[in-house]
Amino acid sequence: MRHWKYTLLLQLGVDTVPVLVGPVSYLLLSKPAKGVDKTFSLLSLLDNILPVYKEVISDLKAAGATWIQFDEPTLVRDLDSHQLQAFSNAYAGLESTLSGLNVLVETYFADVPAEAYKTLTSLKGVTAYGFDLVRGDKTLGLIKGDFPKGKFLFAGVVDGRNIWANDLAASVSTLEELATLVGKDKLVVSTSCSLLHTAVDLVNETKLDNEIKSWLAFAAQKIVEVNALAKALAGAKDESFFGANAAAHASRKSSPRVTNEAVQKAAAALKGSDHRRATNVSARLDAQQKKLNLPILPTTTIGSFPQTIELRRVRREYKANKISEDEYVKAIKEEISKVVKLQEELDIDVLVHGEPERNDMVEYFGEQLSGFAFTVNGWVQSYGSRCVKPPIIYGDVSRPKAMTVFWSTAAQSMTARPMKGMLTGPVTILNWSFVRVDQPRFETCYQIALAIKDEVEDLEKAGINVIQIDEAALREGLPLRKSEEAFYLDWAVHSFRITNCGVKDTTQIHTHMCYSNFNDIIQSIIDMDADVITIENSRSDEKLLSVFREGVKYGAGIGPGVYDIHSPRIPSTEEIADRINKMLAVLETNILWVNPDCGLKTRKYAEVNPALKNMVAAAKLLRTQLAGAK
């Protein structure tokens, strides 16, 4: 019963369009299984999976489906002729099975390149094409140039990836132009992509002020916008709805809370400099070692420690005004003290305070920066069953006061060992937020970078000698098209350098990256000019090390994760030592750090304590062996 959801909804009186991942995108977005040769062609499996698609299509037809949607998002990528031919072959193979159905092939997230557009609009058995006209503005030109007669055009004019209200007047203008090309009977008003990427319903937000709320549209409101646009196109325009929409857009453009002239000037002044530290990384590391006096293979963790039920309760009660500020500060300081003592007992070299005061690595900072708004129920799926509540960047960003100095200095006062100041970097804050669309993303990122720069310099003044600026999401923001990657990486890496370009040589700047395959952007990572980078490695089967095996020279400190914190499994000392040895085969001893893959907040202390104990033991074992070899 592959079609049970469709049948169930039909029984309830709702006729839906079943949506399937298209066969070619299914293969192109897959990866070879472990042990399979890297040169294996995923598209060679096309003939194997088409019979399965035929079965599913036949089942849906038998159940009464009249439309089927295939998502083929890979059509917006840079595809070669062999890959484009696979689309033609796939839909030719499905043509007879698709007979009698209306078939929509949907694309999204970017422009469809000219060659891919030709392939798409020539596919056999397809009666409709969907395009993202929010992020794919150049696609509009292709449609105007040549759109197949008699086919449906699904015009994605309502943004499915952000939370801003649609500019209805502008969208109607676009739709009217398209209607003259394809005919009103063949034009379907649509969102630019699935509404999976936006929050559910603005009605649930009772704490957002009315002005900001009037600028927004969550999934439920976007559906209303789609219907309003369709009715307007059919001659039944809701004047009051369109009027309120125009007033909201005018309010946003003129609102004093959106624009901060001082921030605009400071960000504009960044142009013309690449903001590099004056001394090269090798000289800085020498100066830092004299100050920090660390052993070879220094050990550290990434930042967070387990967030216990009790800790979450304290934060929740403080937010609800059930405990006083003094009680809250006392409880958090006690938690920091526990984490510091544990690290000292484990003999970790560079400590962290454990981040007990933080709910989320982006939300925590956004709550203390101007230009940000927050929802109560604006949850969005991140991956699997994990959901996040992205902040909304609605205006110019600045830092009214220090954000982390109090907790970092409190933690440093509890130990003689170096204590890392912990910050989230500007690119990650940007990429994990709903970002304003009235100025380029890089301008907003530069504003955030200046705010983080202020924090970095305040931490340094307060005596924090090691400062970590996490850029977990740097690679995540990489554009889908190769031609656009260089521009993004240039301003993203520049934003990171802005945050720490003014610190002394003796202040050690760390960054951390996770969730990514970094091999293809390793030069940009080097260009970030951090003193130490800790980076995910164990989950990706140590693919990162292959970069260094191929001759890439890395002179800064580097800590490829020695064990996977996403698993409750506790690695043995021998296993970790083996991983370190593999790293030493391609990296110099004096730049290698020993650390887990990521922060520890999702783990339990029963897992963290023995894993860290084994990690430190492995580092000490290797130090002894290296000393003996000398």
Q: Between the CA atoms of 459, 463, 465 and 466, what dihedral angle is there, to the nearest 10 degrees?
A: -40
Determine the pLDDT at residue 611.
97
Identify any residues that bridge with 13 across adjacent strands, giving them in sequence order.
none
Write the CATH number of the domain with boundaries 280-362+400-629: 3.20.20.210
Q: Between the CA atoms of 207, 208, 211 and 212, what dihedral angle is there, to the nearest 10 degrees?
A: 180
Nearest to 435 by CA among 443, 191, 257, 365: 443
Determine the pLDDT at residue 628.
80
CA distances from 10 to 5, 17, 65, 161 (A): 9, 11, 9, 29
CA distances from 1 to 49, 60, 68, 507 (A): 18, 10, 17, 62
Asked if residues 132 and 139 have their Cβ atoms less than 8 Å apart, the reply is yes
- Which residue type occupies 318? Y
Determine the pLDDT at residue 539.
65
Determine the pLDDT at residue 274.
79
Structure tokens at 112: 């469809």
Express each pLDDT in 430-466 by its tens digit: 999 999 999 999 999 999 999 999 999 999 999 999 9
Nearest to 580 by CA among 326, 296, 369, 365: 296
- In order, the DSSP letters of 349-368 are SBB--B-TT-S-TTHHHHTT
Residue 34 burial by Cβ neighbours in a 10 Å radius (0-12, 13-18, 19+)? exposed
Q: pTM of the prediction?
A: 0.94
Q: At CA 71, angle to CA 67 and CA 76, rounded to 5? A: 135
- What's CA 279's distance to the chain center, in Å? 32
Nearest to 194 by CA among 169, 174, 223, 167: 223
Active site residue 197: no
State the pairing for strand pair 102-106/420-424: unpaired
Angle, to 10 degrees, between the axis of helix 405-412 and the axis of helix 441-461? 40
Asked if residues 158 and 166 have their Cβ atoms less than 8 Å apart, the reply is yes
Instruction: Give the 3-state secondary structure of residue 190.
Output: strand
Nearest to 395 by CA among 378, 362, 373: 373
Q: What is the 3-state secondary structure (H, E, C) of 465-510?
A: CEEEEECCCCHHHCCCCHHHHHHHHHHHHHHHHHHHCCCCCCCEEE
Express each pLDDT in 528-565 by its tens digit: 999 999 988 876 656 667 777 666 777 899 999 999 88
d(C-alpha 276, C-alpha 284), whole Å: 13
Backbone angles phi, psi at 59, to 5 degrees: -60, -45
How crowded is the C-beta side of 234, counted as CA atoms within 13 Å? 13
Determine the pLDDT at residue 515.
62
Query: Mean pLDDT over residues 566-577, rounded?
Result: 94
Q: What is the mean pLDDT of the chain?
A: 93
Determine the pLDDT at residue 541.
58
Which of the 8 DSSP states describes residue 296? S
When pLDDT is cut at 50, 70 and 90, the band that residue 271 belongs to is: confident
Nearest to 133 by CA among 91, 79, 174: 174
CB atoms within 10 A of CB 106: 23
Task: Give every CB contact of residue 312 below 8 A, 6+ residues apart in sequence.
Answer: none
Task: Give every CB contact of residue 295 below 8 A, 6+ residues apart in sequence.
Answer: 349, 623
Residue tagged 């698709």 (tokens): 98
Catalytic residue among 82, 510, 512, 566: 566
Express each pLDDT in 342-372 by its tens digit: 999 999 999 999 999 998 889 999 999 999 9
d(C-alpha 57, C-alpha 68), whole Å: 8
Express each pLDDT in 580-622 by its tens digit: 998 998 888 999 999 999 999 989 999 999 999 999 999 999 9
Nearest to 454 by CA among 413, 401, 377, 494: 401
- Which residue type occupies 87? F
Counted residue by residue, the chain has a size of 630
Query: Mean pLDDT over residues 77-84, rounded?
Result: 96
Express each pLDDT in 111-125 by its tens digit: 999 999 999 999 999
Residue tagged 């970078």 (tokens): 449
CB atoms within 10 A of CB 265: 9
d(C-alpha 561, C-alpha 538), whole Å: 6
Least confident range of 256-260, 383-387, 415-419, 547-551: 547-551
State the pairing for strand pair 392-398/370-373: antiparallel
CA distances from 316 to 309, 319, 327, 458, 491 (A): 10, 5, 13, 28, 37
Structure tokens at 207: 């704490």
Percent of the chain whose pLDDT exceeds 70? 97
Express each pLDDT in 44-69 by its tens digit: 999 999 999 999 999 999 999 999 99
CA pseudo-torsion sign 236, 237, 238, 241: positive
Which of the 8 DSSP states describes residue 68? E
Structure tokens at 336: 């920091």
d(C-alpha 134, C-alpha 192), whole Å: 6
When pLDDT is cut at 50, 70 and 90, the band that residue 202 belongs to is: very high
Express each pLDDT in 283-303 by its tens digit: 999 999 999 999 999 999 999
Which helix or strand (DSSP H or E) is residue 547 part of?
helix 543-549
Residue ranges, comma separated, of all CATH 3.20.20.210 domains in the chain are 280-362+400-629
